[in-house]
Amino acid sequence: IAGITQAPTSQILAAGRRMTLRCTQDMRHNAMYWYRQDLGLGLRLIHYSNTAGTTGKGEVPDGYSVSRANTDDFPLTLASAVPSQTSVYFCASSNLGTDYNEQFFGPGTRLTVL
């Protein structure tokens, strides 16, 4: 693989169900991020991780959790999905320590919660 992969591509989920969105990168970037994108609201940061073993909350963390057991993987879990979590979810990664911290994005997961 090259870059960032996300799975699944899309998912329809019943409210109340648990769901984990997967994200894997092979660029050996130290930092990873989860965003959601909603029409009219742009990209909003959910959680981030600066390095394996650490995570932090972004702008809209409620209802979501993350873990970073290793450099490559950064799963996002919805413990009990609600319809307001219907969105497109993007995972991204970057190499902290460079001057510009460009972030590179995965192809996204389209999640619909009914």
| Binding-site ranges for another protein (CB under 8 A) | 31, 33, 40-43, 45, 48, 50, 54, 56, 58, 90, 94, 96, 99-108
Cβ contacts of 14 within 8 Å, gap of 6 or more: 81, 113, 114
Amino acid at the residue 2: A
Considering the complex, state which of residue 20 and residue 101 has its C-beta at the smaller distance from another protein.
Answer: 101
Tell me the C-alpha distance between 5 and 76, whole Å: 13
Considering the complex, state which of residue 12 and residue 79 has its C-beta at the smaller distance from another protein.
Answer: 12
Considering the complex, state which of residue 81 and residue 106 has its C-beta at the smaller distance from another protein.
Answer: 106
- Give SS3 for 89: strand
CB of 106 to another protein, least distance (A): 6
CB of 96 to another protein, least distance (A): 6
CA dihedral 37, 66, 22, 1 (to 10 degrees): 100
